[in-house]
Amino acid sequence: MSSETKILATASYLPERVVANEALTQFPASTLPLIAEKTGISARRYAADDECTSDLGAKAARQCLERASVSPDEVDAIVLATSSPDRIQPATATRVQQLIGARRAYAFDVNSVCSGAVFALHVADALVRSGGARRVLVVASELYSRGHLNPRDFSTCACLGDGAAAVLVGTDERGHTVVGTILHTDGSGADLIQVPAGGTMLPYARMERPQDAYFTMRGKDVQDFVLTQGTAVVNELLTAHGVDRDDVAFVVPHQANLGVLQGLAERLAIDFSKFVVTLDRYGNTAAASVLIAFDDLVTSKRAARGDLVVLVVFGGGLSWAATLIRI
């Protein structure tokens, strides 16, 4: 058995309903071409009426276990990253556990908004390295189209979609090696990306503005944060592990928008052709986006054995993180 933490399998699930930009008819027709022009997004997926966050996550989780040839009973823990849970309580991970039949696994949620998947992956890595679990299923699942999005807010509704992804983490000889992860948080920016109402700070019963029930972000401030801290954390990660940027085969970023990703590539001096981009098809799926893109890279077989891949994420909190993986 390997002493290194490995990603044994990956999977993703995108709902069947495709919502092209032209279908967002609540906005003036003259503005719809701006979506692709400004964000790079041509379509996104919306969950079916009978699907909730745990349903999406369970579908990705089942496929991941099938690809790994691991039964649900062999899973010791489930760590689910989401900022759009089924309910405020209990943890959405508990329903994923029930749906996939992982009866032996303990299960809990992680919420670092769009950074959540890498935070969850680091928790799984720590559990495996400490002996607290042999196999950990990391699931990232988001369903923003129902409740989280203000249908009249062009800046958010046009960008976000639904989806889920999963990776199975363990110590088997096979798989992709988790070399290391760096996590950061700056709570002074907690108001930049938020859903103001629904918690103890502003219960729905005390809400005076309907828009406080919806996801909001201060776009210019967020973009500055992403370019500054996204660049810094990748450089910090590469320095920590003695990796030259020219030796990075692929960068798998949170799928924010195309302009931000191009700006990040420019600041990192890494050719944009190395960036894995799925937002054109799926939009921004919050915590799920980086693992959906990583699954896309793995299943496309573009990466070769030994390739170094950087996952970099940034989101509410403010939070940002990066992971180095050897394929």
H or E segment at 324?
strand 319-326
Amino acid at 174: R
Report the CATH architecture of 6-174. 3-Layer(aba) Sandwich (3.40)
327 residues of the chain, pLDDT tens digit each:
457 999 999 999 999 999 999 999 999 999 999 999 999 999 999 999 999 999 999 999 999 999 999 999 999 999 999 999 999 999 999 999 999 999 999 999 999 999 999 999 999 999 999 999 999 999 999 999 998 899 999 989 999 999 999 999 999 888 999 999 999 999 999 999 999 999 999 999 999 999 999 999 987 889 999 999 999 999 999 999 999 999 999 999 999 999 999 999 999 999 999 999 999 999 999 999 999 999 999 999 999 999 999 999 999 999 999 999 999
> What pLDDT is attached to residue 172?
86
H or E segment at 253?
strand 248-253
- Among 161, 176, 166, CA closest to 75: 166
> What pLDDT is attached to residue 147?
84
Q: Is 257 designated active site? A: no
Catalytic residue from among 21, 111, 257, 284? 284
Q: Do domains 6-174 and 179-326 have the same CATH topology?
A: yes
Catalytic residue from among 64, 111, 254, 257? 254
Do the Cβ atoms of 57 and 15 come closer than 8 Å?
no
Q: Is 254 designated active site? A: yes
* Domain boundaries of the chain, sorted by first residue: 6-174, 179-326
CA distance 228 to 132: 35
CA distance 272 to 251: 9
Catalytic residue from among 114, 148, 157, 159? 114
Helices 258-268 + 219-240 axis angle, to 10: 40
- Which CATH number, 2.60.40.10, 3.40.50.300, 3.40.47.10, 3.20.20.70, labels domain 179-326? 3.40.47.10
